[in-house]
Amino acid sequence: MLNLSQNGCSVWVAASATEVLRPTNVALGKFDGVHLGHQRVIQPILQPAANKDGDSRICQDDPNQPPTPELIYSTVVTFRPHPQEFFTGTPRTWLTPLDEKVQQLRSLRVEQLVLLPFDKELSALSPEEFVDKILVQQLQCQRISVGQDFCFGKQRQGTAKDLQLLAAQHNIPVTIVPLQTHTDNLSDSGFVSLPPISTSLIRQCLESGDIKNANLCLGRPYTLFGTVVQGQQLGRTIGFPTANLQIPSDKFLPRHGVYAVKVYILNDTAATTPQLILGVMNIGNRPTVNGTNSSVEVHLFDWSGDLYGKQLAVELIEFLRPEQKFASLEALKTQIQQDCTIAQKILSGEC
């Protein structure tokens, strides 16, 4: 079992049904991205706000101890591996790899994440068996919340409505949350023509460089977390040192190109809270310097110092341009200077 905790606030991560803290209120789904639609699905299973501040189960002194079972555990239940990974045998990338998902769930006040091992046995369960064995017997479910498009059981036979009917036989109420479309930004973002918020929509937005809409769907900026490693040491020679980031291999990367970003240095011992630094990021193969591998690198404005080994959180704010092959380092330098000027305007809200 993993207990991923920070600042004494923990989310219990159970990798098998025997480790689960019971009884549970359950939100069921894949929840990759923990986007605004997911957040709506999770809402009905959270403890009432009255419990929030004084509830020792959420922020307890010893994060290595399971919460004391006074109430019902607000629990997100998902599958590992992802069913698609199981059937294709191919690992995939995520908007929110596991530790990021846990961070996001924690911020929503979810207390437990259950990773149901998705195997031959689980995939063969009928909708009735899934409800009886997993939800009723193993999780001692008291309440369930799912999105309108939720499917479950062998060959995805069961719908959200089926779940409602089957759970009713055990007196378990099921909330079916309608798919959320963006309505609050109709006038200025053109969301009117977009389909409902979904993980695949966000991936499409990120693939095409449409960061604004990806961020609107997420309800926060899409963020890359990584450790600063050594590059070719060329950046400093053209006046633009860049911190090269090692990103977990299961993180979904957006379109190659140049971005305006907001950066936080997470393990900076000099600062008590991570400080916001504005900058530019390039994702790509650096054709101008005959780069072979794909790299992610950020240049921080008005900042100097040593970042090697530091953990950075890089929030993507806007896509500026695709990566290009320049005839010389001098031409690249001129372009990067222009990128910085535009990014500074965007990040200071001027355009």
Ligand X SMILES: Cc1cc2nc3c(=O)[nH]c(=O)nc-3n(C[C@H](O)[C@H](O)[C@H](O)COP(=O)(O)O)c2cc1C
* 111 is a contact residue toward ligand X (CB under 6 A): no
* 289 is a contact residue toward ligand ADP (CB under 6 A): no
Minimal distance, residue 229 CB to ligand X, in Å: 10
* Residue span 204-243 as binding mask against ligand ADP, x where in contact by CB under 6 A, dash where not: ------------------------x-xxxxxxx----xxx
* 299 is a contact residue toward ligand X (CB under 6 A): yes
* 323 is a contact residue toward ligand X (CB under 6 A): yes
* Nearer CB in complex with ligand X: 240/264: 240
Specify the stretch interacting with ligand ADP by CB under 6 A; choose among 13-21, 126-134, 184-192, 306-314: 306-314
Minimal distance, residue 267 CB to ligand X, in Å: 21
* Nearer CB in complex with ligand ADP: 131/298: 298
Minimal distance, residue 228 CB to ligand ADP, in Å: 5
* Nearer CB in complex with ligand X: 151/238: 238
* Nearer CB in complex with ligand ADP: 188/306: 306
* Nearer CB in complex with ligand X: 78/282: 282
The residue of the chain with the least Cβ separation from ligand X equals 231
With CB under 6 A, what is the number of residues at the site for ligand ADP? Answer: 20
**CA distance linking residue 37 with residue 74, whole number of Å:** 18
230 makes contact, choosing from ligand ADP, ligand X, none, with CB < 5 to 8 Å by partner type, with ligand ADP
For ligand X, which residue of 240, 252, 264, 319 counts as binding (CB under 6 A)?
240
What does the H/E/C string look like for the chain? CEEEEECCEEEEEECCHHHCCCCEEEEECCCCCCCHHHHHHHHHHCCCHHHHCCCCCCECCCCCCCCCCCCCEEEEEEEECCHHHHHHCCCCCECCCHHHHHHHHHHCCCCEEEEEECCHHHHCCCHHHHHHHHHHHHCCEEEEEEECCCEECHHHCEEHHHHHHHHHCCCCCEEEECCCCCCCCHHHHCHHHCCCCCHHHHHHHHHHCCHHHHHHHHCCCCEEEEEEECCCCCHHHHCCCCEEEECCCCECCCCCEEEEEEEEECCCCCCCCCCEEEEEEEEECCHHHCCCCCEEEEEECCCCCCCCCCEEEEEEEEEEECCCCCCCHHHHHHHHHHHHHHHHHHHCCCC
Minimal distance, residue 238 CB to ligand X, in Å: 7
Residues at the contact surface with ligand ADP, assessed by CB under 6 A: 228, 230-236, 241-244, 299-300, 303-308
Residues at the contact surface with ligand X, assessed by CB under 6 A: 231-235, 240, 242, 244, 258, 280, 282, 286-289, 297, 299, 323-326, 332, 336, 339
